[in-house]
Each structure stands twice: as structure tokens, then as C-alpha cells.
Structure 1
Amino acid sequence: MQDNREITNEEVQKASEIINNLLSYYNSKVVGQPYLGYSLLVAMMTNGHVLLESVPGLAKTTAARVMTEAVNGSFSRIQCTPDLIPSDIIGTQMYNMATNTFEDKIGPVYSNFVLLDEINRSSAKTQSAMLEAMQEREVSIGGKTYKLPEVFVVIATQNPIESEGTYVLSEAQLDRFLLKETVTYPSARDEMEILNRVEAGVFSDVKSVASVDDVVYLQKLCKRIYIDPAIKKYIVDIVQATRMTDKILAPELAQYVAMGASTRAAIAFMEVAKAIALINGRRYCVPDDVKALRYSVLRHRIMLTFAAVAEDVKIEKIIDAIIGSVKTP
């Protein structure tokens, strides 16, 4: 049942303290990736999943570990390979010789934060096994169902430049991710700061600045953030616009869009907008909350044509054109 109580000043203040502690801890560890920390925080607050795309060695795993440390949550890292099978992730039944019975052994998916490293290296069968966990938040072993933790966030990474030995994620799998972030190379200044922090042993100093219960508190508070019907209509108009680009965009851009966003995009926009409103210390959403993470919500949900890929057309350019065509309330 939805909690329709009005959010008090004390609740907003407590939420702001938790959020500031988490962001401060993240920024003390990770250099030059502020948007990544912002997206991971939003994912925690909405109990959503994040897909990270970048070349190796740009602190994707470090960022996931830092946010886990910050709330003292459980963390599992799964290195995806072509020979990985569903039971390696979900779990399996094992024979106990002492009791002469089979026992269920839950896999590493049973954690607050699960890092799927190079998810596109696992087979389609293994990827599909994660769908139940990500969507239904439960796993089935030997006919028995196990509920996953209340705070359950999957952070998957993929390398965009390698194609050998990889399996492209299906549209259904991509749509399960609340956000998709692209991580870029740090600047020379940031890279120098990284060296200084490594030398100073910053990453070995682990401490929690919040708890999993605090994350649950933020999640429940997010659900109570007020979103006006006009803002909901704005979200629907944006998602609808992605499906009719031939009517709203210039022909030279419209030709690059093969498929628009699903209804999950509208749900993601609403949940993200509520989280951003709370991060900004508000009890209600404004249009800017919807637009704040527009690239992250849409870049994996709008499918481009082969021509767009061949001509290196940036999805962000198309997203901006679509948003620009929709009247802001």
C-alpha cells in the first residue's frame, strides 16, 4: 500500500544528511567521475540497476565497491566469461554426504550489490538467468524460491571496443537497467590526483558512513515524493516522442532511430525524478528532475539504425532533439 503521508522537514533533513555523507565518501575515493557516483546513488535510492560502459581500468569496479563500503552492504563480484553458467550466479543443489540429502546453495547473486563484470562476455542463457533476479528480485533453486535482499542493486559493466568472444545484450535485458552510464577517460589533472590518492593509501581506508537501513529509508521516502500530473504527462510525452521521431525530428535525424523507448522508460523517468528531487532537498518533482539524467535513462532504450552506427551519430544528440521537441510544463 502506498504511503501518502506528507514528508516532514525532519525527514528531508535526515535524508539530506545520509545523501551528503554518501556523496562525500564517494568523492573522497573516486576521482573525476561525479556523474557515475550520482547515478549509483540514484540507483540505490530507487533499487534500480545500472549498466556501465567503458574501456577497462576506469574505476567502474572501484566505484561499485566504494558505494557498497559506504553503507556497509554485502558485495559480490562476478567475472563473466563465455563458460559461465546460470548456476554459477543463481546457485544450485549440492549433495550432502553426511545427511544423505540435497541442499540448496545460493550463488553470489544473493548480495546487496552485485557487480557483473563484462556482462556481454556471458552467454545469452546466463544473461537470461539474471532476468528473474533483476526483475522479480527472487531466484529459484530446485523448485524453491528465495527472495533477494530488500536492497538489491546490479551493477553491470561492458567493454564497447571488444567484440571477440562477446554476446550482445538483448533489448529485453537492456531494458531491465534503470540507467546506462558511459565512463570516459579522466583528465590529466584527475589522473595525477588518482596517483596521489593511491600513493597515500586512500583506498585501503574503508569505513561506512551510512547503513543498508538508511538506504531502505531513502527508498521509502522516494516513493512519497510528490509528482504532479503535469510532470507525469511530460514524462509520457517524452517517451511517446521517442516512438514518433519521423513526425517530430528533422528527416536527417529521424532516419537514425530504429525503435523508441518502452513503458519502462516512463517508469524509470518517474523514479529517477523523485530520487533527484530528494537529493536536492525537495518534497516534489520539477521538470528539471526529469531531464537531469535523460541520457542515462534513454541511451540504452532508443535503438539506432546501422547507418547511425556507421556514421557515428551520438545518441545524446538525438535525445536532446527529442526532449527539445516536447513542451516543458
Structure 2
Amino acid sequence: MTPNSITGSSTAPAVVVSVSPVVLPAPGRPVDLQVRVTAPATGHDLPLLLMSHGQGPSNNLSSLHGYLPLVQHFAARGFVVVQPTHLSSATLKGHPGLRDHPEAPLFWRERALDMTRILDALAKLEAAVPQIAGRIDHGKVAVVGHSMGGHTASLLLGARFNHPSTGETVDVRDLRIITGALLAAPGRGGEALSATAARHYPFLLTTDFSTMTAPALVVAGDNDPSPHLTVLGSPWHTDPYRLAPAPKTLLTVYGAEHMLGGISGFDAAETSDENPARVEAVARLTGGYLRTQLIPGDPAWREAQDALLSSAEPAGQVVTK
């Protein structure tokens, strides 16, 4: 079986290469856009996966340096993964060009625009990283985001909100992105937000999932109450599934907290529910879903669900609408 084919857990993953930092042109952006590219060492017509990091207390995981438990898995099973360092990254804290930016501290629109910049610069990216030159299928693009990155992914897939200052509708949907996965993403706004979130993150107040029409997988832990963001507890993270139109799929991960077992980094201190088996299940199911969405007929999603159902202690439950 070729390296750009999803395989079952019994098959050894492909060798992976990773290159960073790669600087892409970003006119008007306060800081150069730096990305990491991770890909299987061989194979062609590879789907492209854009990975949006979340926030968190670590100094480096919220950047191109994070999420290796997921990135390594995805790349080893046939994806070219591109990870930007968003302007909200702790690695850029204190940069003078960001202090007075109107979107600080989370840079809600700039995060989504980073992904559009990457797609606009794919030819330059391939020229800068010869290991992937001519190997990407530009018509097969997915986005994955965790936490605040999940919000970024939702916008790229069609969700909207009202600008907190002007009231204008913010629409940054990129039609080149076919599908995506939202991991522990924020839910609806309004009365669902905590007072702290409403005060500090007013862009979350008007989130509208009704326009998020692209097929997507929503991954939520059933022990992720996020009291700093919501008064609704863990079910809030399922809103992108419940409030967006079909087709959507929800993976509820049993016992999982916000880091879903440790997806942001190997042995990350910020992980409160360290569980390598849980991380592997999230990676397998997320990658399998995206693979089959991008390549109809690929068995990856069916195989991932079969593995979930056949486990003596299933990591979670999948429902679809």
C-alpha cells in the first residue's frame, strides 16, 4: 500500500519529513507568516491539511511547534500538514507591531486570513520546500483547529459573526477548503457565554453556525466544562454540530477534557487528562473522516469507526446528521 493511502492500525505508518520555519509573503501582516510543513516522505496527489493551533499557558505549543501528536499521525497517513504561527501565539508576545492591533489578543479574523494566505502562496510554499514540490493535490484541502483554532476552522467552513465594533457581518469562508474538523471548539454566544468571555472576547457573542454548510467533524470531550468561556458546561462544545446544517458528524470523547488526552504536544504539562490512547483515537478518527471526505471511497473513516466500535473500552461515540 502506498504512503498516501490511509492504512489500518496494523500497518506501519509512512516515514515523515518536517521543514520549519518557512516564511510566506504576507503583505500588511504585522509579523512575517511562519509555517511548518510536515509530509510523508513519498507519495503523490496528497491532500493538504491546514492546522490551526489554540491558545494555552505554554510558551511554544500555540505555534508551528505544537500539536505533533496529531500532525505526525496525519502526515504519516498521507496528508501534507501546514501549521502557521498565528498572531495570537505566545511566541509573539510583546512584539511591538501587535500591541495596538484592534483584534488583539486572539486575532480572530487574522487567524482565518493566515490560512487563505497559505492557499494563495502554495506555489511559493512548494518552491521553498522541494520535498513536497508537485506532490500536493490542490483540489483536496481540509482544515483542523483546536479550541480557538476550532473557531478559526469554523469561520473558514462558513460560520459567521458580527464585528464587535462595527456590527458588520464577518465572512471569511474559503471555498477552496472542502471539509474540516473542529476540536473542542467554542459554541454559541449570547447567554451561553460566561461574563468573562463576553467582556474579553465579544466576537464570540454573535457566532452563527447556520451558514457553516461545509461537511465537518466536531470533536468534543464530555468532561470539558470550560467555565471561563461558557455557563453551559461541556455540551457547549457540541454547538457547531447541533446548530450547523447537515452534513455534520459529532465525535463525543468519553472522559476527555479540553486537551482531548494531550493533542497539543507530547507530555505537555498543560494537559489535565493525559491519555495516549485517547489521543490516538482522536487522531485516527479525525484523519479518517477527513481522508474519506476528500477522497470518496477511501476506507479510512469506516476503518476508524470499526476500530472504535470493536474496542473493549471505546474512546467515544460517533453520531451523524
* Same fold? TM cut 0.5: no
Which of 1 and 2 has greater Rg?
A: 1
Given the two structures, how large is their TM-score scaled by the length of structure 2? Answer: 0.28
Higher relative contact order, structure no. (Cα contacts within 8 Å, ≥ 6 residues apart) = 1
Given the two structures, how large is their TM-score scaled by the length of structure 1? Answer: 0.28
Query: Which structure features the higher share of helix residues?
Result: 1
